[in-house]
Amino acid sequence: MCLLYSALLIGPNWETSVLVGGTVFNQLVLWRPGGSKGDSQSQVERRLLGHSGVIFSLCYLQSARWLASASDDRSVRVWNVGVLGADGGCGVESPTCLRVFYGHQARVFCVRLSPGCVFSAGEDGACLLWEWEGNGRVGQTLKGHRSGGIRSLAVSRGGGWVATGGADGGIRAWRVLEGTRLVDQSKEADCQIDLGFSGRGCPKVVRSLGGRDAVLVCTDQGEVLLHQDESWQTVWNGGPEFQSYCVMDVAPVQFQDASLWVCAVGNLNSGVQVFALHHPNSGVLLQAGQGKVHALQWVQGDRLCLLASGAEGLVYRWTLEVIEDKTGLGLRLEKQKSFLLPTCAKRWLTAAVRLPRGNGSLWVCGDRRGSLLLYREGELCEESEVDRENREGGSKEEQGVWEDENRWPESTVNDIAPISPVNTLFGVHGKQGVTSVCEHQGLFYSTGRDGCVRVLTVDRNTLKVRRVHRASKGMEWLEKVMFLGSEISDMYEVIERRKQDGEEEERSITDSGLEIEGVGQKKRDTFNEEAELKKTIGINLEDSGSERFAEARFVMVGFHSIQFVLWDPLTRDKLFSVTCGGGHRSWAYIFPSHTQALPSSHSLREGMLIFIQKGAVMSSRSLTSKATHVRGHTLKDGLHGRGLSCICHLGSVSRGGLSSEEWEVLVTGGEDTTVSVLAIEPGQGTVKVLAVLADHISNVRTLAAVQREPRQKGGSNSRTNTSSLSTFLFSAGGRAELQCYQLLIGWNEQVNWPVCQVTQVAGHRLDEQWERRRNRHKTVKMDPETRYMSMAVVHESIEEILVTLACSDGAVRLFTVRVESRKVELVWENFYHQRCVLSVASYSFEDPQGKQHVLLFSGATDGAVALWDLTTVLDSKSMDSWHGPSAPCFSLPVHQSGVNALVISNEVGPMDKDIITVASGGDDGQLSLMKIRMQLRQEVVFPELLSHWTVPLAHSAPLTALGALDCATLVSTSPDQRVCVWRVCHDGLQNKATVFSHTADAAGLWVWHKKGSGLQSRDYVVVCGQGLQVLELTNGKDPERNEKE
């Protein structure tokens, strides 16, 4: 007898079958269970030794006579076992190990074989395709699950399709095409081509002119060269002035229905040469102050604008106009007021974007110090103080027009008062600087070398960070974002797949162009439909402007150690990767030729990177799985990759009108440190992930929400017949971290499902001061690593929200979150419990005099429940002067060990308004119910315990979550995987129903009543743990499985 972790039965019938077992002793054992006669146990006939961990998965391929095993030791082994089963018996006498594959970063959970190919997948979330030929290299890496790894794997008979099932509950299917599997070595070498730069000196800056074959390079010899038709030609030579240092930027400009390229080159001595690429002699030399031109950038707008970042933080600006004169083409540059950057070291501009506003423009810029700056021009009222001061100095604004060969008269430079930013987010992207800013659908996106993308809004004169998105671990240097086309295209692709039947699937061809021809009329229809949809969305995006609900889908572009990477944050997929040597180099990514305005994530794989490496100009395709080889499809969205610890129901949104389609909006927090906003349609069982909030650095243990009336803005009538939700969401957990978001959930009629807009309001950590200490790596942090265990909203008003937190260091803490100033402050903490506080619940009521009272219950690991009167916090005008209670007004041992859940409800009857019901669930499996009368004497609460009932073994495992549908109905759950409904009777608690739940490790629960007319009103329970499940409480109060996830 021995524990088995995996087993495989091979053979046509029981008598001749062979059983392979993967044992806890790291062996593969083979025996014939049906082979023995009588009662005697059959003996193990073969033992395959080699693994150093338990065996998780086995696969046998008859045609090759291979047996494959996947193990805890992170390796996959393929054994030559001969023919198993039937006449083959247990195969060859002494099986040998043919291959050992080490490539996974964690446990390997599954292995599958197909001729010439081994597929393996595991805890690291990667599915690796090992090619048998060519010494067993990794042919492809398929990634795309949220976290927690891949748990199951299936490969179609021919090996053309691979499906992976993730720990996140997601299912992805991948097209792995035959024939392309064996990329021969010579082809691979072609991936990276030296463009054979032949000019003098060293190339320093590279820019793409759109097409695959048009590359512009600027050298340290002050020359600009163009690569076209496989040859290099010098476009412009700047002479000695432009040698040893130069910066360059190029941009397209429209002129009389034609597009031409203008190029700007800056030098060490403030000179900036601007010329049209095909008329290099029509150039203009501009003067950008004095000293080095740090950076040059063309910015699109109603007129193309050139920014040159010079000395002392001055950014010189010119607008460009192409004119036609006697000699042909001319450039007219009109000097604009300069921008002034904030004082700091490395004071130069790195990014800029412009948006027309009113009669002027709005500029969002980024600098090398990591600051984001907002400038306004052309609007008289919007001048900052610095601006005014400068003017008092007597300088006079002046504008001039210089044409052609004219040089900027130096005398006037100082006369122009620079514009100071109206708002600065100093150093927001860290000390390594901002790398790009751009605008898309009314939102601004900035990237920096802190590995973050910040989504920004401009509210009058203030730049506000709405959200921060972090790239994958190790990808600290982001260069920019690229927006993706609507995800509809992805969806349609899947539909296409589904429409094809098996035969056709196998025949579909690599190239997308061919694919259209290959399939019938039916398919062409979907294509048209898709195009239609895209068109309507395109239109919609334009009119909706800044009132956009959801953020756009984008891909992060940056460097991951020595690689240039395009990374899809949603699918967590590396779309494109080129080993170029890392950051600090000039690069240009060339979109694949067939890409429309906004590319799909698939097409981005086929792009090309031009970069400079060791003095050579290189062109490279991605070495990672090419789009033509692999196409991933999400058949089902993934949720959290690891356990869900908390859940909260926000409300529902509907399409409105006659449609009865209603989506329930839920928020979940998990061990994978993320918070997910989900929409669930209980009727169909559809789940849609609306947003993933990944700001927490540790696990998320608790959630709380405050509903707000949705903003009603005049003019936006389009959504009046649909419902929407506005909520302040709080999440808290490990490392004593608290986050606050504002969520706006509404219906998007174009895509026909709910969408969610997320604004990060505030974040707070108890040990933030420690993080800011300079030499912290040298000292030992003495503070406890506090975790927040539970949270409750105590009070809310328009300006501020009060939340209490149960803390693992033994404290109950009260924080105020100020919405407008986005500040979180600690106002009270009390260490009464002296043990880890596990749960908090709050209750507020109005006394007969109309005075509001706030009560708080807290429970700790010793089983005690304490009651706190926090009423005075409402009276204190300023939080600083308020000293919270030093002791609870009531404390009672309720459980033997930890109090995991607390729920408060009050009686419905008008007579018993001062009686509240406190239900608690404990680690001891007990459910307890207390009725407490809240007596008031001189406005002070005196609690009186009226009754206390317990159900000692309500669950055979810890009771982890509890919810109250009303004061008479409780629902509890536990890791024993039961959901129990309890009825509060006059003499105690009665078990009304128990149902088995598929959610293991149940940790959170939410119960809600859905109003409806008559029979349409429903009661729902949602349980979360390893996955989540929605149950409906039917009339007889028997929970009925409605839909599971």
Binders of another protein among residues 951 to 990 (CB under 8 A) are 952-953, 955-958, 975-978, 980
Nearer to another protein, 105 or 593 (CB): 105
Q: Is the dihedral of CA 756, 761, 764, 768 positive or negative?
A: positive
Separation between Cα atoms, residue 625 and residue 905, nearest integer Å: 56
Q: How far is the CB of 465 from another protein (least distance, A)?
A: 27
Contact between 832 and another protein (CB under 8 A)?
no
Separation between Cα atoms, residue 883 and residue 532, nearest integer Å: 63
- C-alpha dihedral (507, 510, 514, 519), degrees to nearest 10: 30
Answer for which of 185, 186, 881, 1035 binds another protein (CB under 8 A) is 185
Contact between 785 and another protein (CB under 8 A)?
yes
Q: Which stretch binds another protein (CB under 8 A): 140-148, 451-459, 711-719, 841-849?
A: 140-148
Nearer to another protein, 160 or 784 (CB): 784
Answer for which of 89, 95, 148, 607 binds another protein (CB under 8 A) is 148
Contact between 130 and another protein (CB under 8 A)?
yes
Exposure string of 43-78, with b = 16+ CB inside 10 Å and e = fewer, is ebebebebbebbbbbbbbbeebbbbbbbbbbbbbbb
Contact between 783 and another protein (CB under 8 A)?
yes
* DSSP conformation letters of 432-449: T-EEEEEEETTEEEEEET
Place of tokens 């993320």: 674
Q: How far is the CB of 573 from another protein (least distance, A)?
A: 13
Site mask, another protein, residues 47-76, x = CB under 8 A?
A: --xx-xxx-x--------------xxxxx-
Contact between 141 and another protein (CB under 8 A)?
yes
Binders of another protein among residues 190 to 229 (CB under 8 A) are none
Q: Please give the helix or strand (H or E) that residue 923 lies within, else none.
A: none
Q: Identify whether the C-beta of residue 702 lies closer than 8 Å to the C-beta of residue 788.
A: yes
Within a 10 A sphere around the Cβ of 1034, how many other Cβ atoms?
Answer: 13
Q: Identify whether the C-beta of residue 268 lies closer than 8 Å to the C-beta of residue 292.
A: yes
Answer for which of 21, 103, 271, 370 binds another protein (CB under 8 A) is 103
Contact between 252 and another protein (CB under 8 A)?
no
Q: How far is the CB of 118 from another protein (least distance, A)?
A: 11
Q: How far is the CB of 1001 from another protein (least distance, A)?
A: 6
Q: Which stretch binds another protein (CB under 8 A): 244-252, 343-351, 421-429, 806-814?
A: 806-814
Binders of another protein among residues 492 to 521 (CB under 8 A) are none
Answer for which of 188, 241, 768, 1040 binds another protein (CB under 8 A) is 188
Alpha helices in 300-384 (DSSP H): none
Contact between 925 and another protein (CB under 8 A)?
yes
Contact between 809 and another protein (CB under 8 A)?
yes
Nearer to another protein, 267 or 1029 (CB): 1029
Contact between 22 and another protein (CB under 8 A)?
no
Answer for which of 7, 516, 887, 1000 binds another protein (CB under 8 A) is 1000
Q: For residue 328, what are its two tokens?
A: 């042909």
Contact between 1045 and another protein (CB under 8 A)?
no
Supply the DSSP symbol for 43. Answer: P
Answer for which of 273, 858, 861, 928 binds another protein (CB under 8 A) is 861
Q: How far is the CB of 53 from another protein (least distance, A)?
A: 3
Binders of another protein among residues 463 to 492 (CB under 8 A) are none
Nearer to another protein, 808 or 905 (CB): 808
Rounded (to 5) percent helix, strand, coil in the chain = 10, 50, 40
How many residues belong to the chain?
Answer: 1045
Contact between 3 and another protein (CB under 8 A)?
yes
Answer for which of 168, 637, 869, 1001 binds another protein (CB under 8 A) is 1001
For the chain, helix (H) and strand (E) counts, in that order, are: 9, 72
Q: Identify whether the C-beta of residue 134 lies closer than 8 Å to the C-beta of residue 120.
A: no
Separation between Cα atoms, residue 386 and residue 422, nearest integer Å: 10
Contact between 5 and another protein (CB under 8 A)?
yes
Q: Please give the helix or strand (H or E) that residue 543 lies within, else none.
A: helix 521-544
Number of residues binding to another protein, judged by CB under 8 A: 99
Q: Which stretch binds another protein (CB under 8 A): 102-110, 329-337, 417-425, 709-717?
A: 102-110
Contact between 594 and another protein (CB under 8 A)?
no
Answer for which of 107, 303, 708, 719 binds another protein (CB under 8 A) is 107
Binders of another protein among residues 517 to 576 (CB under 8 A) are 563
Outline where DSSP puts E strands in 562-607: 563-568, 573-579, 587-590
Place of tokens 């990014």: 351
Site mask, another protein, residues 603-642, x = CB under 8 A?
A: --------------------xxx----------------x
Answer for which of 924, 1019, 1043, 1045 binds another protein (CB under 8 A) is 924
Sheet containing 608-613: order of strands: 192-194, 616-620, 608-613, 587-590
Q: For residue 8, what are its two tokens?
A: 């495989």
Answer for which of 390, 571, 830, 900 binds another protein (CB under 8 A) is 900
Contacts of 1006 (CB under 8 A, 6+ apart): 647, 648, 649, 666, 963, 1021, 1022
Side-chain half-sphere exposure of 906, counting CA atoms within 13 A: 16
Q: How far is the CB of 671 from another protein (least distance, A)?
A: 10
